Amino acid sequence: MTHPWITACYAVDSALSKITEADAKKLTHLNVSFGHVVDDAIRIGHLKQLDRLPALKAFNPELAIVLSVGGWGAGGFSEAAATADGRRLMAESAVQALRDHPFDGIDIDWEYPSYSAASIASSPDDKTNFTLLLKALREALDREGAARGRHYSLTIAAGADQYFIDGTEMREAQKYLDFIMLMTYDMRGGFQTFTGHHTNLFTPTGDLFRISADASVRMFAQAGVPREKIVIGGAFYSRMWKDVPERNNGLYQMTAGTGGYGPDFTQLTAEYIDKNGYVRHWDDEAKAPYLFNGNTFISYDDEQSLRCKCEYVKTGKLAGIMFWEYSLDTTNRLLNAVHETYIELASED
């Protein structure tokens, strides 16, 4: 079937064998995570299940399988982007990966240009070098695509807040990209001791941190990214704060520690959502669910919040939705919610 909007899924190497035929048919893009940059070149020798890709293509011939390069704490980008030779080597290695495996494109997940928050190298020159790197990749992919009579996609995963815009030249960079995947999750958690939503659609009243998927979309659009190139993110996992004051159902409370990773959606369904003392609440302003048991606060995405995101994609004329990460929801409820909502929305046109 032809999908009216992008449904993209990140999947780690170990998850590739778990992707079912039914799920493959619900996706438009599968981002295989992660290739790494070593000595200015993309390396994928550590990925052990790439022989699974032809079967996934057989399940859904329209599925675009993309090699995602990077991830949190994965370095090598700043060094490779810093010189013409480094950019050329990285582009050549990207093309080689396309020749060796049935990939349909490359996704760059540099977290983040101009910043060393993930303990990787960075430089003020990353701002312009990022654009030059994408240009080199785009030109190399286009040459290879022309030789094969096809198009190879080039995308990025982008941090959702102003820092990413400040550290890059998005107005120029987007010219080389098919679309930009906004990581509209982890928008709070590891750096904040103030509870709240980590993957909310809208910015609610009373939240000190003003980021949301909607705020991120507006930032990137204002920075020169066409809305039709923007993909927003959903989370198949949660963020959790402990020792939370028993006020306002735990929402917007100061805590002693930051919000660490919480249970994935499989675990949430089995042990947490309206179970074992945890009560599900819905923030209709943020369009986001959360759990509280009197002490522990959990922020996550569920079917209701993902439906709201899909509706936002349609009304906002965005490219689609993506999520991290496939293996974190073995119930299939979240992918099904996205798929079914898209079908309903398409039928209304």
Within 8 A by CB and 6+ apart from 94, the residues are 42, 67, 69, 106, 137, 140, 141
The candidate with the shortest Cα–Cα distance to 109, out of 158, 47, 153, is 158
In the block, residue with structure tokens 């079914």: 340
Evaluated on CA atoms 288, 293, 296, 302, the torsion sign reads negative
* Cβ contact 297:253 at 8 Å: yes
SS3 82: coil
| Amino acid at residue number 39 | D
Q: Would you report the helix, strand and coil content of the chain in percent, each value rounded to 5? A: 40, 25, 40
Report the C-alpha gap between 117 and 111 in whole angstroms.
Answer: 8
Report the C-alpha gap between 210 and 233 in whole angstroms.
Answer: 17
Phi, psi of 201 (to 5 degrees): -75, -45
User: Encoding tokens for residue 75?
Assistant: 């370095």
**Active centre residues (catalytic):** 111
Report the C-alpha gap between 7 and 335 in whole angstroms.
Answer: 9
Taking residue 84's Cβ as centre, other Cβ atoms within 10 Å add up to 9
SS3 150: coil
The candidate with the shortest Cα–Cα distance to 319, out of 166, 158, 102, 95, is 158
The candidate with the shortest Cα–Cα distance to 98, out of 32, 11, 8, 180, is 32
